[in-house]
Amino acid sequence: MIRRLYPFEPERAHCRRVAAWAWLIARREGLDPSLLPILERTALLHHAPGLALSGEAVGRLLAEMETPPGEAGPVSSASADGSEALAAALREACASSPGPRAAPLPRLFQLLEAAHVFDECLEALPYEFRPLAELLDDAVSLSPDPAWTPLLDVFRQPVLFEGEVLAAALAAIPVNPEVVAAVAEVAGDENSELADLERVTGKDPALAAALLKAANSARQALRHPISTLTQAINQLGLDESRQVLTAMALRRAFVAPAARPLWPHSLELASLASSIGGKVAHLAPPEAFLGGLLHDFGRLLLLAAPAPLLGSYTGLLERGCPPVTAELALCGIDHAEIGARVLESWGLAETVCEAVRQHHRSQPGIGALGALLQLCEEIAGAGEDLPSLPRLRDSLRTLHLPAGILADAQPALPTALKALRGES
């Protein structure tokens, strides 16, 4: 039903996000939980003023539309009270003339207005990378209203993803930073040789076993099983061996149920980055693969965050917010920045860390690897951020690639990595 109301996806997406921001503000402000479903539906329909007619009309709509998640559960379409309250809230939201309004609707309207303005601030980010606080200040200065502008303070008090919060998230991810750093140093270097790969693999039995398994599964026609690291690396080749080792060093980070969907995405994006990176001057495919595999490491940390932050984060994602916008709203920074800070502390190469940091930014001076990750996210259709044509255009320009690459390049995993895709 929402699709019929709003034929254009950008408008549908905006209304879904406004509903999510309203839900978050209302929870922080202690709104009566029974009003949350009404508030969310009002936000979903706030671009359709013609619906603000009667409880009966809204009741018919509720019977057809997809119900958004709500803490107190859905308001039944058969409930006259719920339908009438929603119709009244819609009239309140669509009213163009000021005047006294009966409680509790003024509060719903204030929450909706704050959510709407906040989303408009976020919609500017793909075109102008500025601190969120500056955008909020601009919005308040354009329309100061003591009734609702204080509600925006919810977004001025982010949960700092550092200290105990970061430590708790890292403790929940079963990955060894020393192993990751050692593998990244060797596997991310196109000049590394067989002896280098043997050396780093031999220090970790799990990596050695994974490399042997990949070599045997990728070459099933062999008369004799591969039983040594030298045989495995020779069979796969240096390039594919580097990719398998990098993937296996990080695979353990994706074991949590919430993180498992990120594993195939990260593998495919890494493979795509390696493939396209080979067409770009001054970009080494092994480093491109490493950057692709690590680009969403910050999302793993957020999905392992302490319960209060995790509850808000997953609630926003379930309501249709792209991860980057949800992260900015809650933490003031996105998963790209969070991941880059951790990878820097582990001693990974500066070019890789900076590319991870930049892969959602819309600003001049993005490096080639960061631009490559932006381009690969677009090709993969990740939907982690608000769409931005300028960002895409800048990425193509930085890489000196034609726009046709968007249609021609598709994720394609080598045989050895296909065996790892389903493992998490």
Q: Is the same domain home to 275 and 396? A: yes
Q: Is the same domain home to 202 and 276? A: yes
Please give the pLDDT value at position 61.
53
Of the residues 100, 116, 132, the one at which a domain ends? 116
Average pLDDT over residues 188-212: 86
Distance CA 177, CA 398 (A): 32
Q: Which pLDDT tens digit goes with each residue over 372-381?
A: 999 999 998 8
Return the SS3 of 142.
helix
Please tell me the pTM assigned to this model. 0.83
Range of the domain at 108: 2-116
Phi, psi of 242 (to 5 degrees): -60, -45
Sequential DSSP letters for 245-270: HHHHHHHGGG-SGGGTTHHHHHHHHH
25 contacts: CB under 8 Å, gap ≥ 6: 111, 114, 115, 151, 154
98 contacts: CB under 8 Å, gap ≥ 6: none
Whether 206 is covered by a domain: the verdict is yes
20-24, 144-148, 193-197: the lowest-pLDDT one: 144-148
Whether 395 is covered by a domain: the verdict is yes
Q: Is 99 exposed, middle or buried (0-12, 13-18, 19+ CB in 10 A)?
A: exposed
Whether 145 is covered by a domain: the verdict is no
Output the domain CATH number for residue 328. Answer: 1.10.3210.10
Q: Is the same domain home to 185 and 112? A: no
Whether 135 is covered by a domain: the verdict is no
Q: Is the same domain home to 85 and 192? A: no
Whether 411 is covered by a domain: the verdict is yes
Q: Is the same domain home to 91 and 200? A: no
Q: Is the same domain home to 243 and 95? A: no
Please give the pLDDT value at position 222.
60
Of the residues 97, 116, 135, the one at which a domain ends? 116
CA distances from 192 to 238, 266, 286 (A): 8, 23, 10
Does residue 66 register a pLDDT over 60?
no
Q: Is the same domain home to 99 and 185? A: no
Does residue 313 register a pLDDT over 90?
yes
Whether 359 is covered by a domain: the verdict is yes
Q: Is the same domain home to 96 and 204? A: no
Average pLDDT over residues 236-259: 88
Q: Is 102 exposed, middle or buried (0-12, 13-18, 19+ CB in 10 A)?
A: exposed
264: amino acid identity, one letter = P
Place of tokens 């001025």: 156
Please give the pLDDT value at position 79.
41
**How many domains does the structure of the chain reveal?**
2
Q: Which pLDDT tens digit goes with each residue over 392-404?
A: 899 999 999 998 8
Using pLDDT thresholds of 50, 70 and 90, give the confidence band for residue 76.
very low
